[in-house]
Copies of this chain bind each other. A is one copy, B any other.
Amino acid sequence: MNATAAKLLVAAGDLMIERNSTEISLSEIAQKSGVNAALVKYHFGNKDGLLLALLARDAQAEMATLAFVLDQPISPTDKMRRHIAGIVNAYFRVPYLNRLIHLLLHQGSEATAKEVHRFFVAPLFGFVKRLLEDGIATGEFRKVDPALFYISLNGACDHLFYGRQMNTHLIGSGGVTDAVRRQYIDHMTKLILGGLLTDKQAD
């Protein structure tokens, strides 16, 4: 990618992290990157184009990780462990990732929303659906609705990174440190795989 275009993406991502929000303007991005606002249009066409490129840059690693995990010669249970850790790590690295997807789906043009589904949501959901099917087939997993599972798992993992303010009160003023990240992976893994009850009475 062109150096100027890359600079713009760096500025956009940094702004989203600083503001803890996806609501940033093209002029703010231009100002932060030191790049002339007119070059945004030149490189990306419009804001949707820039945000899509940002998503592509940031989701790349997560999707590659997911595909890699699924290809390993290990049990579905172990793949799910790695997948849960992978999601938490992806949101730790890119705290605005989930919200950026929702922003583009909701506020972007119809063409943009279609691209987001085609290149990100559908493949990510497809991976999870396949993993669940594999685990159900081996008898390791209960039958769960893949869409509801995908929605609840991503919502739970993302929420730790949503609000620094809420976390400060609940977790402590250190915020989401690397130690908290590892605690959350451990928490989410045990909760999702084993649930809250000591005795399986849920059904």
Contact = CB atoms under 8 A, between A and B. Distances in A.
Contact of A156 (B113, B156, B166): B156
A193 B197 contact: yes
A130 to B, nearest CB: 15
B169 A117 contact: yes
Nearest to A23: B23
Interface residues of A toward B: which range? 35 or more
B159 A198 contact: no
A127 interface: no
Given A105-B165, A163-B106, A194 B195 contact: yes
Given A156-B153, A156-B156, A160-B155, A191 B194 contact: no
Interface of A: 20-21, 23, 77, 80, 101-102, 105-107, 113, 117, 121-122, 125, 135, 139-142, 144-145, 147-160, 162-167, 169-171, 183-184, 187-203
